[in-house]
Structure 1
Amino acid sequence: MMEEVMADVPLFPVTVVGSWPRPPELIQALRRRQADEVSEDEFNAVADKAVIQALKEQEEAGTDIISDGEQRRDNFYSYVVGKIAGMQLMKVSELLDYAKDRARLEEQLRALDVPAFAIKSPIVVEKISTREGLSLDELAFLKKHTDKPIKIPIPGPYMLTRSSWFEGLSDKIYPSPEDLAKDVVQILREETIKLRDMGADFIQYDEPILTQVVLGEESSETFMCASLPQRRDPTTELEFALRLMNEVAEGIEGVKLGVHVCRGNWSRKEEVLLTGNYGPLLPYLVQMNVDQLVLECATPRAGEMEVFKEYANEKEIGLGVVNPRTDELETPAMIVERVNEMLEYFDADKIYLNPDCGFGTFAERNINTSEGAFHKMRVIGEAAQELRKLHG
Structure 2
Amino acid sequence: MNLPTEPIGSIPRPPALLAGIADHAAGRIGPDALDALYDEATRDTIARLEALGSPIVTDGEQRKPSFATYPLDGLPGLAPDGAVIPFADGHTRQLPRLTTGPFRYARHAGEYLRAAQRHATVPVKQAVIAPSALSLLYPADGIPGYDRDAFLDDLVDEAEADIRGALAAGASSVQLDFTEGRLAVKLDPSRGVLDAFVALNNRVLDRFTPAEQARIGVHTCPGGDRDSTHSLDVDYLDLLPALFTLHAGSFYVQLASEPDPGRVLAAIAEHARPDQRIFVGVTDPIDPAVETAEQVRDRVLHAAEYLDPARLGTCDDCGFAPFGDDLSTSRDTAWAKIRARIEGTALAADRLGR
Shorter chain as denominator, the TM-score bin is 0.7 to 0.9
Deviations 1:29-56 (A, max 9, x none): 3345556775443321110000111112
Supply the RMSD in Å over aligned alpha carbons.
Answer: 2.8
Structure 2 partner of 1:325:
286
Q: Does structure 1 conserve the Cα–Cα contact (< 8 Å) formed by 2:71 and 2:108? A: yes
Candidates 187, 191, 209, aligned match of 1:235: 191
Task: Sort the Cα spacing of 1:371 and 1:114 in 2 relative to 1 into closer, same or farther, 3 A.
Answer: closer
Q: For residues 206 and 192 of structure 1, what CA distance do their matches in structure 2 show?
A: 12
Q: For residues 22 and 78 of structure 1, what CA distance do their matches in structure 2 show?
A: 17
Structure 1 partner of 2:331:
370
Answering whether residue 3 of structure 2 is matched by residue 26 of structure 1, we say no
Normalised to the residue count of structure 1, the TM-score between the two structures is 0.80
Q: For residues 232 and 290 of structure 2, what CA distance do their matches in structure 1 show?
A: 22
Structure 2 partner of 1:15:
6
Q: For residues 195 and 205 of structure 2, what CA distance do their matches in structure 1 show?
A: 15
Q: For residues 182 and 56 of structure 1, what CA distance do their matches in structure 2 show?
A: 40
1:154 counterpart SS class: strand
Task: Sort the Cα spacing of 1:171 and 1:113 in 2 relative to 1 into closer, same or farther, 3 A.
Answer: farther
Candidates 155, 161, 164, aligned match of 1:190: 161
Q: For residues 274 and 378 of structure 1, what CA distance do their matches in structure 2 show?
A: 25
Percent of aligned positions that are identical: 22
Task: Sort the Cα spacing of 1:243 and 1:86 in 2 relative to 1 into closer, same or farther, 3 A.
Answer: farther
Q: For residues 36 and 129 of structure 1, what CA distance do their matches in structure 2 show?
A: 30
Q: For residues 36 and 315 of structure 2, what CA distance do their matches in structure 1 show?
A: 29
Deviation at 1:123, TM superposition (A): 2.4
Structure 2 partner of 1:88:
78
Candidates 156, 171, 175, aligned match of 2:143: 171
Deviation at 1:111, TM superposition (A): 10
Post-superposition, which runs of at least 4 consecutive aligned residues in structure 1 deviate over 6 A? 108-112
Unmatched tracts of structure 1, length 5 or more: 1-9, 97-104, 218-231
Structure 2 partner of 1:149:
123
Q: For residues 334 and 282 of structure 1, what CA distance do their matches in structure 2 show?
A: 25
Task: Look up the equivalent residue of 2:170 and give its one-letter code.
Answer: G
1:352 counterpart SS class: strand
Candidates 258, 265, 269, aligned match of 1:309: 269
Structure 1 partner of 2:177:
206
Q: Does structure 2 conserve the Cα–Cα contact (< 8 Å) formed by 1:205 and 1:258? A: yes
Deviations 1:311-350 (A, max 9, x none): 2553211211011112212122222222122213322232
Q: Does structure 2 conserve the Cα–Cα contact (< 8 Å) formed by 1:13 and 1:353? A: yes
Candidates 11, 28, 32, aligned match of 1:41: 32
Q: For residues 54 and 225 of structure 2, what CA distance do their matches in structure 1 show?
A: 24
Q: For residues 267 and 165 of structure 1, what CA distance do their matches in structure 2 show?
A: 26
Deviations 1:236-275 (A, max 9, x none): 21221222121111233346111111112113257x7522
Structure 1 partner of 2:101:
127
Deviation at 1:174, TM superposition (A): 3.6
Unmatched tracts of structure 2, length 5 or more: none
Report the more deviating stretch, 57-66 or 232-241: 232-241
Q: For residues 162 and 202 of structure 2, what CA distance do their matches in structure 1 show?
A: 15
State how many pairs are aligned: 347
Q: Does structure 1 conserve the Cα–Cα contact (< 8 Å) formed by 2:79 and 2:99? A: no
Q: For residues 302 and 188 of structure 1, what CA distance do their matches in structure 2 show?
A: 34
Q: For residues 243 and 302 of structure 1, what CA distance do their matches in structure 2 show?
A: 29
Deviation at 1:114, TM superposition (A): 4.2
Answering whether residue 140 of structure 2 is matched by residue 180 of structure 1, we say no
Q: Does structure 2 conserve the Cα–Cα contact (< 8 Å) formed by 1:18 and 1:70? A: yes
Structure 2 partner of 1:62:
53
Q: For residues 388 and 81 of structure 1, what CA distance do their matches in structure 2 show?
A: 41
